Amino acid sequence: MPQLDEALVDDPHEVQRLDSRGHLRALATAGAQVREAAHLAAEAGIDRLEREERPRAVLVAALGGSAVVGEVLTVLAEAQSPVPVSQRAAGPLPAWVGPMDLVVAVSLSGRAPGPLGLAAEAGRRGAQLVTVGADESPLADVTARARGLHVPVPRGLVSSRTSLWSLLTPVLLASATLGVVDLPAPVLDELADRLDAQAEACRPSSECFVNPAKIAAQALVETVPVVLGDGPLMGVAAHRAVAGLARTARIPAMHGCLPDGASQVVATFGGPFTAAGGQGAGSLAAARGGRDIFADPFLDAPEEPPLGLLMLREGGSGIPPEQTSLAETVLQEAHDVGVRVQEITSGARHPAVRLAEVMALTDFLSTYAALGLGLDPSTNPHVANLRAAGHP
């Protein structure tokens, strides 16, 4: 069963040795990314959108690590937007997109074929176009020809996994200007401050017994992980978390969102990784959160990892009572059968800040999980092989 090595995540020299491209350091710049992206958006002329009519519909074109931009915009728009918001990774561009609609295309390099092709077709159809990506890139050229708005990202960014807020901030600002989401200026300042606070709490010099990301990583690495959001907002964070576990830490994980995901997740509580469904003393001891100290690794069967549940929750006032009640019921079921349960909660007032706070912590969690397993969070040879074969 895998275990997180505290000596690796608590030793700055080991962290630096393993983290070849500064993945951890890049995550810590999230708050600065928000502020710099807002500045770049202003320089690009985002205020000109105030003179534009609200679009009939919004389509976000993004793929890979950038796809979360569309997910965040969609869930934030649900509460306020009078127009529908959808997303797509690649073509063809839906037939309904025309001059009355807005297409937002996001690509860190400005070269991703899916968003680039969708943006080009949107321009040909006369749709309003807002793009975010590298300056002097094919995406920037497409936007210029369509007389759209291109917001450049800072130079030197190497991964969309660690540059989320450089990509997402201009999209949120453009959407707020057009009345698609509610994001007053003070909220963006609070969001950046919360990201700074998470970076401070999860800094490498903060040891395993006090660092919330290291604590969560240590517990999750030794389990078969399930990440569950207590509603649509935290469902986006749960999807982001399992993507990070897979891509950064090489840990396959299942994710869900309440209420729809409740039965699917609870069904696993009766399976082979819990006390309710496990067979044999090794499984039962693991499911109850302990190890059989008398087990002989040569004569007994290998110890099976227990099921682990990471519940991402919204705190504070304004949360529907039925959402809280269902989450508590799921947690009680998990405790009853020996599932290893962890909770991450944000009580921030604005949903964008709640989402940012939780996603920042899970980003650090997956990075420390990789480091604690002796893996480089920045690179993956198997993904590199895919790209070398021409697959994005």
Residues 193-218: tens digit of each pLDDT = 999 999 999 999 999 999 999 999 99
Find the range with the poorest average confidence among 192-196, 360-364, 376-380. 376-380
Confidence of residue 281 (pLDDT cuts 50, 70, 90): very low
Residue 309: enclosing H or E segment and its boundaries? strand 307-314
The whole-number average pLDDT for the span 371-391 is: 87
Phi and psi at 6, nearest 5°, equal: -60, -35
The whole-number average pLDDT for the span 286-315 is: 67
Q: Nearest CA to 289 among 269, 277, 278, 274? A: 274
Angle at 73 between CA 178 and CA 114, to 5 degrees: 100
Q: What pLDDT score does 287 carry?
A: 42
- DSSP assignment letter at 64: G
Q: Is the pLDDT of residue 344 over 50?
A: yes
Confidence of residue 282 (pLDDT cuts 50, 70, 90): very low
Name every residue whose Cβ is closer than 8 Å to that of residue 140 and which is 6 or more positions away in sequence.
Answer: 110, 131, 133, 134, 150, 152
Mean pLDDT, the chain, whole residue set: 91
- Point out which residues pair with 158 in neighbouring strands: none
Helix axes 113-124, 138-145, angle to 10 degrees: 10
Q: What pLDDT score does 79 carry?
A: 80
Q: What pLDDT score does 391 carry?
A: 73
Q: Is the pLDDT of residue 291 over 60?
A: no
Percentage above 90 pLDDT, the chain: 79
Name every residue whose Cβ is closer than 8 Å to that of residue 95 and which is 6 or more positions away in sequence.
Answer: none
Find the range with the poorest average confidence among 13-17, 59-63, 378-382. 378-382
CA 71 to CA 250: how far, in whole Å?
A: 23
Q: What pLDDT score does 305 carry?
A: 82
Confidence of residue 279 (pLDDT cuts 50, 70, 90): very low
Find the range with the poorest average confidence among 87-91, 138-142, 359-363. 87-91
Confidence of residue 286 (pLDDT cuts 50, 70, 90): very low
Q: Is the pLDDT of residue 275 over 60?
A: yes
Distance of CA 385 to the CA centre of its chain: 24
Find the range with the poorest average confidence among 116-125, 160-169, 272-281, 377-386. 272-281
Q: Is the pLDDT of residue 262 over 90?
A: no
Q: What pLDDT score does 382 carry?
A: 86
What the chain holds in terms of domains, given with CATH numbers, is 6-17+202-381 (3.40.50.10490), 29-184 (3.40.50.10490)
Q: What pLDDT score does 283 carry?
A: 45
159-196 pLDDT, tens digit per residue, is 999 999 999 999 999 999 999 999 999 999 999 999 99
SS3 6: helix
Q: What pLDDT score does 304 carry?
A: 73
Q: What is the pTM of this model?
A: 0.91
Find the range with the poorest average confidence among 100-104, 174-178, 279-283, 361-365. 279-283
Q: Is the pLDDT of residue 331 over 70?
A: yes
CA 307 to CA 285: how far, in whole Å?
A: 12
Phi and psi at 78, nearest 5°, equal: -55, -35
28-50 pLDDT, tens digit per residue, is 999 999 999 999 999 999 999 99
Q: What pLDDT score does 296 carry?
A: 54
Confidence of residue 389 (pLDDT cuts 50, 70, 90): confident
CA 303 to CA 206: how far, in whole Å?
A: 31
Q: Is the pLDDT of residue 88 over 50?
A: yes
